[in-house]
C-alpha cells in the first residue's frame, strides 16, 4: 500500500483544495491530511473562519481523504512521515522550492 501525506489549513475549502486532495490520493492508496490546528495557525499569524474541529470534519467528509491528523508545528513533518509510514509527501505549488519540504 502506498501512503500519501499532505498539509494545509483548509479553511475556506475551494476547488483548488479539492483538486490537490484528488491528485494526491491518485498517487497512492491511502491519503493522510494534516490540518493546521487553531493554535498553530495563530502562531503563524493566521486566523481561520472555521475552527480546527469544523475543518477536520469537512476534510473527513471528502472521499479522497482517509485520515485527518492535526498539524501542530513546522517540526512534526519528519515524525509524521515515520509514524504514518508515508511514501510520498504532496504539497501545492505555493510551496515549490521551500526548504520546509525539499528534504
44 catalytic per annotation: yes
Catalytic residue among 44, 54, 83, 85: 44
46 catalytic per annotation: yes
Instruction: Report strand pairing: 30-36 vs 67-71.
Output: parallel
- Asked if 20 contacts 44 with a C-beta cutoff of 8 angstroms, the reply is no
Q: Which of 65, 92, 59, 72 is nearest to 4 (CA)?
A: 65
How is residue 22 written as a grid cell?
484528488
The catalytic residues are 44, 46
Amino acid at each position: 500500500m502506498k501512503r500519501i501525506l499532505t498539509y494545509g489549513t483548509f479553511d475556506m475549502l475551494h476547488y483548488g483544495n479539492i483538486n490537490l486532495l484528488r491528485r494526491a490520493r491518485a498517487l497512492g492508496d491511502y491519503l493522510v491530511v494534516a490540518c493546521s490546528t487553531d493554535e498553530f495557525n495563530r502562531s503563524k499569524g493566521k486566523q481561520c473562519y472555521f475552527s480546527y474541529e469544523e475543518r477536520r470534519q469537512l476534510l473527513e467528509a471528502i472521499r479522497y481523504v482517509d485520515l485527518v491528523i492535526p498539524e501542530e508545528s513546522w517540526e512534526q513533518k519528519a515524525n509524521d512521515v515515520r509514524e504514518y509510514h508515508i511514501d510520498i509527501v504532496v504539497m501545492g505549488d505555493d510551496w515549490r522550492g521551500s526548504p520546509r519540504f525539499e528534504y
